Amino acid sequence: MSARGKLIAVIGDEDTCTGFLLGGVGELNKNRKPNFLVVEKETSVAEIEETFKSFLARSDIGIVLINQFIAEMIRHAIDGHLESIPAVLEIPSKEHPYDASKDSILRRARGMFCAEDFR
């Protein structure tokens, strides 16, 4: 790959991670930490938040994909991320369909209008 591009990180349940790894986004070796986290029932919120923040701190990650139900657990951390890179995308999971009203980006975009603006 010319001029080494950035990675796509994934925080999701097993099926989500397996799917995206099948697509070729995964990186796993002894020298660097993996760019994905498989969230299971036993995975703590602290671990998820720590992993999310570590992805934001890495300069080699361009996009972070996260299941929306996991994003809800660390909503405060996602709302606090205001930079353009890495971009955070909330995606549905098998048991939790995508809800636009919960998406951080759309909530920020929606919140700019009030009744007076339309007079």
Partner 1 sequence: MVVLELEESSLLLDEKLLRFMDQLELLEEKRAALNSLIEQGWFSMAKARYSMGNKRVSALQYASEIEPLVCVHARTLDNGEVDFCTERSKQKARDEVGKEARSIEDIGPQEEGVRRRNKPKNNIPEKKEGEEASSEKAPEVTPIRKSDQNPQQDPLKWFGILVPQTLKQAQSSFTQVIELSAEIATLQTAILNSRQELKQCRKDKPILQEVSATRLEKLTD
Binding site residues, partner 1, CB under 8 A: 1-8, 14-30, 34-35, 38, 62-63, 65, 84-85, 87, 89, 91-92, 94, 97-98, 100, 105-106, 108-109, 112, 117
Asked whether 74 and 46 are in contact (CB, 8 A), the reply is no
The least CB distance from residue 11 to partner 1, in Å, is: 14
d(CA 94, CA 92): 7
The least CB distance from residue 51 to partner 1, in Å, is: 15
DSSP characters over 62-113: EEEEEEHHHHHHTHHHHHT---SSSEEEEE--SSS---GGG-HHHHHHHTT-
The least CB distance from residue 23 to partner 1, in Å, is: 4
